[in-house]
Structure 1
Amino acid sequence: MSDIDDIDLPDIPRAPVDPSGDGFGSNTILTDADLDRAYPNRPRNKNPTLPFADLYLSLFEPLLANKKKKIGVGIRGTRALKPHEIRRDIIDQFISRWRNEVGNDIYPVLRLILCEKDRDRSVYHLKEKTIGRLLVKVMKINKDSDDGYALVNWKHPGASKSAGDFALRCYEIIRKRPMRTTPGNLTISQVNSMLDSLSLASKEGEQLPIMTEFYNNMNASELMWLIRIIMRQMKVGATERTFFDAWHPDAAALFNISSSLKRVCWELSDLEFRMDPDGKSVSLMSCFQPQLAQFQKRSLDDAVKAMNLTPEDPVFWIEEKLDGERMQMHYENGNFMFWSRKAKDYTRLYGSCFDDGSLTRHLRGAFDTGVKSIILDGEMITWDPRLDCVVSFGTLKTAALEGIRNPYGDGPRPLFRVFDILHLNGECLINYTLQDRRTALERSVKTVVRRLEVHGYEVAREAVEIERALRKVISEASEGLVIKNPRSVYRLNDRNDDWMKVKPEYMTEFGESLDLVVLGGYWGSGTRGGILSSYLCGLRVDGNHLEPGGNPMKFRSFCKVGGGFTANDYSKIAHMTDSQWIPWDPKKPPNEYIEIVAGGRGVDQPDVWIRPDKSIVLEVKAASVIPTDEFRVGKSLRFPRFRHIREDKDWQSALSISELIALKEEVEKEKAEEEKRIEVEKRKQRAGKRIKREYAVLGASDKPADFISSTVQGGPWLFEGHSFYVVSDAATPKKMGKAEMEHLIKSYGGKIYQTKDAVSDTHVIGDRNNVKISALKKEGTHDVIRPAWIFDCIRQHELDLQRGQKGDYILPIEARHVLHATASVERRVAATVDQYGDSYARDLTTEELSKLLQDMPGTFDRTFVVAFAKGLCERDQRELDELPGWMFKTFVIYVDTRDHGEANENLKPTACLALFAGARIAHDLHDIEITHIVASNCQQRLRELREAIKWRPRIPRIITKDWLKSSLEARTVLDEERFLPV
């Protein structure tokens, strides 16, 4: 492609314009007449909407009970239902009832169920404390009474167990003095109308009458769920995808390209209607749900393998992960629109044309003359021209507002870094490869320095190149990296291995751990409700930092620490500081002892504070020290984590500002020397290696391809003597085109035919019901096997070769492998697994084993396996780091079961426990990636282990098995030194 006009794009018609762009805006309450004019074809309900009470009685509470496993197991036919099937049945029954009793317009109720996805109603301007103050006035109780105080200070512990759960705290107080004890009569339509009014009310005088009406017409349970809707914190045990799939097969796809609940409800009210494939494309001025980066793998090698790169084309891209806000820009003939990842409209902030906004007024000439319309995907960050660098994300909105007031000032400004293009001149590009999209991007967009720039990338082929780039971003205190497959297409609202995050983890500690004084505390919420769950820590002001005649007991804020504590740690800290905590008064801060931040901005003020001489010292470890304007010291810790309570130290012997500066300089010097030493060692090792080169015969067939792990080369040809007819692409467990599937099968000795009847026993392979497979089903002459069978055969083949076994047989077909089969085959495949679904012929993957244990009845100890697997499905992906066990994802654990030359039976289950906890299990002590070794207290064996690992650049920690169990129970990674072998 030579220029913009040469970009060869298919003739794809534009998708329909988003009907939510009706011109009314999100701050307008529409009448029925307005809706009729804007949406003449919308579905109409035949009857009034259901009572709001029915929503929580027949949907919310049954779903929540199923989530907590407090309802009986239903029966579908003769088989007991699993929790996810019960969840779907509850939703299906409610939707069916709505269609039968109300009509086909489900929008009124879906905007309450999925309130966080409703962008047609503006925010309520209500936080927990504001709602608490409103309820105090509505119920006419004294704000200084126990209940009045508990509502406003909902995180503070009290006699109840609801601390940290605001809606539950409201329920407990409201039910003591309710206006109603039975469900109210407000309908879902009436509740929506009142919520619309509440969203437009910005002052207490406007909000109070609406909250009073809610209180007078609802019981305590209804009000609890109403508050969850207002706070947009439902968590009923079902995801948006579950509700979308229950409503219509195309609902999720339409939401992905429009971010509009209104479109999903009104365009897909008829189950018989199916969207045209071309209609599932992004379109101009319609907010789409962007592709997201997958969470990082256990190792950099695993990340590279997951992208399924081929030996012929092993290239991948490395991009810096930016510390900003994900943003999409739509442009057409001089008009702009901006949306965030959460579909929030930021057009007024960044600009709607070349004459307004903090950004677009500077973008004249940013597009090639051939560009008429374009959609860009990127990150909005803050650039400070005076510092000549990117500054923290928290300054973005302030910089944008200042850019509107002073468009040509020299202060911080928004900078849009673009890394993808989704639409160009009326054509959707999501089905083009990233490499082709990048070509279109570079020829369409021109750099406007420090306003709009195309984000750069590095071309890489090996995991070691990621490590080099990662060390660079760590030194620059950057967010991390994103690695991308340049051959991948853009997948809306999806996380997959084509884009993966790589973030700095606890690869090394920052020098010695730091001893910090606790200055303040923050009340927790959720599972940590009712206790001080995190602490504000500080450094002692000394030397040149202490004013003449100043208080020697003065401290400056340095970091917040909330990770690594066990219940015993919290209890011990509470005991040691009992009766010493003082409520924080913003009007009278303890400036004599504590400086929070210069200028009154930065870190959140603590809920309580403590005098340094009455406080305790915590030992804290971290990845690095970074500059920040959030804390008064001007620096803070990256990824701080609690390690110990230092009972042997007090405020006078804790770390000071001068000592931190000296320690940081020393660590940086040692780090540079260590990196130099390691590089010298690597050069020596490379020089001493002799690489054995294999000779290839021109025209000879290839050896089996490196597909899954392929640590063993050569060996028997798995599919020799078998014939295959591949009918469709592979969709699961990994995406692979038909041609790639055929090449893979041939590389393992199989023969490929383009007709089912070439050989009598041809294996027909397909993963979706296309025309050819539908014809095969009607004929009934062939079974259709999913590509997953091919992948399982290859995986088992390689595992067998690694164990020294022959590995020359193909697996029997299981039920999970069958897309279509005759009755005789179905009976045969039923005998390939046991009653729990465990295969007799192959090794299960970790995911399969976890699911098997989850569904298996019994009373054995499944420490956190069920909760972990279930949480992966139901929680927002951003919360994965908080799930039990997920914190072990970066660990490589070797379980040493030797004890005086014999097997130690007590340690054998530990490997299974560590595996479920997210760790990779090393089977060889010589694995250089090992981070932890689980061993017994046998002194002779401990000496052998220490001797074996003492020369490694990174020495693994030797710990007892109690470290794994205790960490899982505490739901955080505990300090290893508590669990060293005696």
Structure 2
Amino acid sequence: MATNNVASSVKFNDLCKVFETICKAKKRDKDSVLVDFIKTYKTQAEHLKATSPNCSTSFYPVLRLILPQVERERGPYGLKEFTLAKRLIKILCLPPEGTEATRLTNSRTSGAQNKDFADAAYWVLRKYFLVDSKLSISDVNEYLDRIAENHGNNDPRGADDQLYKLFQETSAEEQKWLIRIILKDLHLGMGQDRILRLYHPDAADLFSSNNDLCKICETLTDPSVRLHEIEIAIFVPFRPMLSQRCDVVQFNKVFSGNVKMYVETKFDGERFQLHMENGQFKYFSKNGYDYTSTYGSDFTNGIFTPLLKNSFKKDVWKIILDGEMMGWNKSTKKFGSKAMNFDVKHTKTSHVHQPCLCVFDILLLNDDVLTNRPLKDRLLLLDTVLNPVQGTIMISHRKEITSKSAVLDALNASMDREEEGIVFKDVMSLYKPNNRYAGWWKMKLEYFENVMSDLDVIVMGGYYGEGRHRNQIAGFLVAVKDSSTDNEHYISFARIASGLSNEELQTIENNLGPHWKKLNEGDPEEHGLEWGKEKPDLWIPPNKSCVLQVRASELMRSSDFKTEWTLRFPRIQKIRLDKHYNDCLTLTELLELINSAKYVKKLTKRHLELDDLKLTEKERKHSRRDVHIEQQPVEQKSSLLDEYEFCVLTGSEAWKKDDIEIEIRENGGTVVRNEGTNTLCILVGDDHPRIETCKQYDAPYDLVKVEWLRSILDAQEFKMYTPKDMLHISKKTKEQFSINYDKYGNTYTEEDTLSSIQDIIPQVEKMNDFVYLTPSEVVVLEQELKFSNPINVFKNVVAYFYRFGRNFKLDVADVQSPTLEEMEFRFLGGTISNIINYRVTLIINESDDVKRREILEYLTEIGNTQAKIVNKEFINKTLQEIKTAL
């Protein structure tokens, strides 16, 4: 094992203790735990450096264990939860169908309240590995390197051998953290950027540009020395600086004082970076994909680089430019947009559009990295290094402004030119890769109210979402009404999947959920629905649907929808449950709105004015759309539920949802359709898919059985719900419950009764959260509790049960079914042996005389003087005595 580095002198067990402390610490205290460890590590490194000047003091060996999910030097281990469980079963020689093996292989579905697989494994491993190891952090890294190397060499036996050796040298608690490192998720409750910034204030920024933990530790060694220039390297892609969306609130914040800004056109193309050194080129997209083969690596190949001859000044031999790759119409001498159905990344020389790079920043010039210079200085340099060529490489036009009105003038002028919007930038801003909050803002008219033509469309279909919305309808196919036919007819217009909060999605689900139909259920055409190439996952009859108010930047031609037009960047603004389903946009109105033969039609209806920017932040926050519930007046019978707000998800056969809501209001409570910050809980009667969704994604609200409400209404005494009343518990309520209840729902503050214990047993069984104690652990527990189990009368007794034909001298497994007496003996705490040996203290004979002499002779022969011989009635008699005593 390596010794010439500080990681060899720090125990892995010390790091595991830090992990444990971080997990148990409150959110605000986690940082200090890790910071203290980093300081201790660096202090140890300084001492080692003083005695061994050539030793390595890098924090990288530790950081790659703290952030295994982003570590790239070590290859994959080929171990996921299930395969790791199988390896552990093999290492421990566990019976494959045994309880412990099942706990490992079914850790997710067993119902146990484990944090993760590693936590489940720990409760098995702790019986077999007890002593802390002496392995260092360097040792652990070498083991993990060999496991990954063997996996990469397709040597699973070698990988298993290294894993076995690693586990032989570590304790159960260390193995828990090793498993999390191998599975690349430590569950520390701290994000990646947060951990990096605790190591060095600039670490997260540097990582965003190079994704290299080792380089971070080599470059950033002293937190007091800041990284003044993000390292930009030629022919290495980086994630570009981004613009922050600027709406009313943000606009007023930015222009609250004296500022100087550059205003530029917001280009509607593809973000690209150009790298050039000595006539060799590379092109990278926003996400780091290499398009050099398309655009050309030098002046002799590609669709773009040959056009750049003589575009650079003679003294420029190395350069990195940031800009937007646009499509330049060679006939009209104008830029196109992405809405015109062409892809600037795949144009050909025969196309009407050719690539044109609109440059708006320079990051490297010859050997100078420029990212730490103010924008105004960078742009002065940019003006001196290029020979712009119209339609090929152009410098973005910029104008310096200092007032709100100047920004509005620029935005309105952009609208008149039918452009996407504007970008304005702080003239002193530094270039920070992958940062959206460093002094650049983007502004479009659709970010503001009453300056765009919002459209009312009807929902005709739905799409299942992804991620946390995968079991929920989260996208919609919307339609316009075709009034040219006598019957109601709706044709597809656009697909929309943004703009609604979780609460608003639930509002739509509450209203449309019962009426969704699969594509093979019924005939949409019979209901007047017609779509084009784009088809939904589910459809809905118009008279069961609702109207959505949507906003988009523009209309564009599309062959995917029946209207042959669709919306670009659509966003749902409101759910219009107040509108009749057929009171939506008509095809005639849509065509009048377009009134043009162009491919793209902007949806702006007027210029933005200063008065549009007077909304306060408070008004902005208050502008979310809530759907009003029409409620009939009720006679209030009590004030039991005064000041409590409820959301009723479902009722039951015995208690309908409407009746529940009426009784809540009769007793002084408030009913809302969508839960909010003031909602006490969501009440659930019958099963609902949302219950599983809430559990899966740890929703921030409580789901409570309606039986709880029934009980307090019947008693007319308000008592807060308890764990046994819950279908899902929010994080906040869990914290409150943890003060008064254990994880099985058993209270700390009240005496246990037989009834309360019986109530929690099903919960223990459901969690499969049994702890199997060894005999020695049972003895210790009984001593601590000063308790002796009156049933375990044979606790320390080893018995041999003689049957006809049995050879008491040979240790042969008994294949016969156990007798009643044997089962009773085990029930009373005894241990049964298959042979008479020195450990046997009781021999149960079938009768007093059978084999008695032969057994006594054998006992004398083996020196066993403690064993007593009794008949089988002795067991039954003992059991009856215990029953009588209890």
Using structure 2 for the length normalisation, give the TM-score. 0.50
The within-5 A match list for 1:946-961 is none
State the AA in 1 paired with 2:492: R
Matched residues in 2 for 1:214 and 1:508: separation? Answer: 67
Counterpart of 1:764?
none
Matched residues in 1 for 2:509 and 2:44: separation? Answer: 58
- The CA deviation at 1:380 is 3.6
Matched residues in 2 for 1:187 and 1:281: separation? Answer: 31
Matched, 1:502 2:443: yes
Matched residues in 1 for 2:443 and 2:547: separation? Answer: 30
Contact 1:435 1:487 in 2 (8 A): yes
1:486 aligned to 416, 421, 427, which one?
427
Please state whether the residue corresponding to 1:237 is helix, strand or coil.
Answer: coil
Contact 1:228 1:234 in 2 (8 A): no
The within-5 A match list for 1:898-917 is 914=618
Matched, 1:468 2:409: yes
Counterpart of 2:711?
none
State the AA in 2 paired with 1:243: I
1:634 aligned to 539, 551, 565, which one?
565
Please state whether the residue corresponding to 2:299 is helix, strand or coil.
Answer: coil
State the AA in 1 paired with 2:191: A
| 1:309-343 CA-partner distances (Å, limit 9, x unpaired) | 4xxxxx53211223445443332111234455566
Matched, 1:93 2:66: no
Matched residues in 2 for 1:72 and 1:583: separation? Answer: 51
Counterpart of 2:591?
661
Contact 1:616 1:646 in 2 (8 A): no
The within-5 A match list for 1:611-650 is 611-613=540-542, 615-622=544-551, 624-627=553-556, 629=558, 632=561, 633-636=564-567, 638-646=569-577, 649-650=580-581
Matched residues in 2 for 1:583 and 1:135: separation? Answer: 42
1:247 aligned to 194, 199, 218, which one?
199
Matched residues in 1 for 2:423 and 2:177: separation? Answer: 45
Counterpart of 1:610?
539
Counterpart of 2:506?
570
Matched, 1:308 2:308: no
Corresponding residue pairs, total: 578
Contact 1:336 1:351 in 2 (8 A): yes
Counterpart of 1:441?
382
Larger-Rg structure: 2
2:462 aligned to 520, 523, 529, which one?
520
Change beyond 3 A, Cα 1:422–1:591: farther
Matched residues in 2 for 1:135 and 1:342: separation? Answer: 34
Change beyond 3 A, Cα 1:354–1:213: farther
Contact 2:460 2:545 in 1 (8 A): yes
| 1:65-97 CA-partner distances (Å, limit 9, x unpaired) | 6xxxxx555xxxxxxxxx445324235537856
Matched residues in 1 for 2:519 and 2:677: separation? Answer: 33
| 1:8-55 CA-partner distances (Å, limit 9, x unpaired) | xxxxxxxxxxxxxxxxxxxxxxxx9xxx9xxxxx9967549998x998
Please state whether the residue corresponding to 2:255 is helix, strand or coil.
Answer: helix
Matched, 1:371 2:316: yes
State the AA in 2 paired with 1:536: F
- The CA deviation at 1:659 is 3.3
Contact 2:555 2:566 in 1 (8 A): yes
- The CA deviation at 1:435 is 3.3
Counterpart of 1:237?
190
Contact 2:200 2:223 in 1 (8 A): no
Change beyond 3 A, Cα 1:386–1:86: farther
Please state whether the residue corresponding to 1:442 is helix, strand or coil.
Answer: helix
User: Can you give the 5+ residue segments of structure 1 that lack an aligned partner in the other structure?
Assistant: 1-31, 37-41, 66-70, 74-82, 140-161, 310-314, 683-888, 895-913, 920-929, 933-961, 972-982
- The CA deviation at 1:614 is 7.2
Matched, 1:535 2:494: no
State the AA in 2 paired with 1:535: G
Matched residues in 1 for 2:576 and 2:440: separation? Answer: 40
- The CA deviation at 1:365 is 2.2
- The CA deviation at 1:519 is 0.5
Counterpart of 1:453?
394
Matched residues in 1 for 2:524 and 2:545: separation? Answer: 18
Please state whether the residue corresponding to 1:318 is helix, strand or coil.
Answer: strand
Change beyond 3 A, Cα 1:122–1:137: closer
State the AA in 2 paired with 1:519: G
Change beyond 3 A, Cα 1:243–1:372: same
Contact 2:554 2:603 in 1 (8 A): no
Counterpart of 1:907?
none
| 1:522-560 CA-partner distances (Å, limit 9, x unpaired) | 23534x57533x23132147478x9xx9x9766324131
Matched, 1:426 2:383: no
| 1:798-840 CA-partner distances (Å, limit 9, x unpaired) | xxxxxxxxxxxxxxxxxxxxxxxxxxxxxxxxxxxxxxxxxxx
Contact 1:175 1:220 in 2 (8 A): yes
Change beyond 3 A, Cα 1:57–1:182: farther
Change beyond 3 A, Cα 1:87–1:332: same
1:321 aligned to 266, 270, 280, which one?
266
Please state whether the residue corresponding to 2:461 is helix, strand or coil.
Answer: strand
RMSD: 6.4
Contact 2:276 2:319 in 1 (8 A): yes
Matched residues in 2 for 1:596 and 1:189: separation? Answer: 60
Counterpart of 2:615?
892
Please state whether the residue corresponding to 2:358 is helix, strand or coil.
Answer: strand
Counterpart of 1:821?
none
Please state whether the residue corresponding to 1:619 is helix, strand or coil.
Answer: strand
Change beyond 3 A, Cα 1:173–1:483: closer
Counterpart of 2:756?
none
Identity %: 19
- The CA deviation at 1:620 is 1.6
Contact 1:557 1:597 in 2 (8 A): no
Matched residues in 2 for 1:283 and 1:375: separation? Answer: 9
The within-5 A match list for 1:333-344 is 333-339=278-284
State the AA in 1 paired with 2:34: I
| 1:496-535 CA-partner distances (Å, limit 9, x unpaired) | 6743333431321644650312311323534x57533x23
Change beyond 3 A, Cα 1:359–1:228: farther
Matched, 1:265 2:250: no
Contact 2:263 2:425 in 1 (8 A): yes
Using structure 1 for the length normalisation, give the TM-score. 0.46
Matched residues in 1 for 2:261 and 2:501: separation? Answer: 39
| 1:534-587 CA-partner distances (Å, limit 9, x unpaired) | 23132147478x9xx9x97663241314434563762563454326342799xx
Matched residues in 2 for 1:635 and 1:99: separation? Answer: 63
Matched, 1:391 2:391: no
Change beyond 3 A, Cα 1:477–1:211: farther
Change beyond 3 A, Cα 1:208–1:271: same
State the AA in 1 paired with 2:556: P
Contact 1:477 1:626 in 2 (8 A): no
- The CA deviation at 1:111 is 5.3
Change beyond 3 A, Cα 1:237–1:359: farther
Q: Report which stretch shifted further, 361-370 or 213-222.
A: 213-222
| 1:822-874 CA-partner distances (Å, limit 9, x unpaired) | xxxxxxxxxxxxxxxxxxxxxxxxxxxxxxxxxxxxxxxxxxxxxxxxxxxxx
Matched residues in 1 for 2:431 and 2:230: separation? Answer: 13
Please state whether the residue corresponding to 1:371 is helix, strand or coil.
Answer: coil
Change beyond 3 A, Cα 1:425–1:465: same
Please state whether the residue corresponding to 2:548 is helix, strand or coil.
Answer: strand
State the AA in 2 paired with 1:577: G
| 1:110-138 CA-partner distances (Å, limit 9, x unpaired) | 457557866779999x9xxxx99999999
- The CA deviation at 1:616 is 0.9
Change beyond 3 A, Cα 1:434–1:560: same
Contact 2:265 2:422 in 1 (8 A): yes
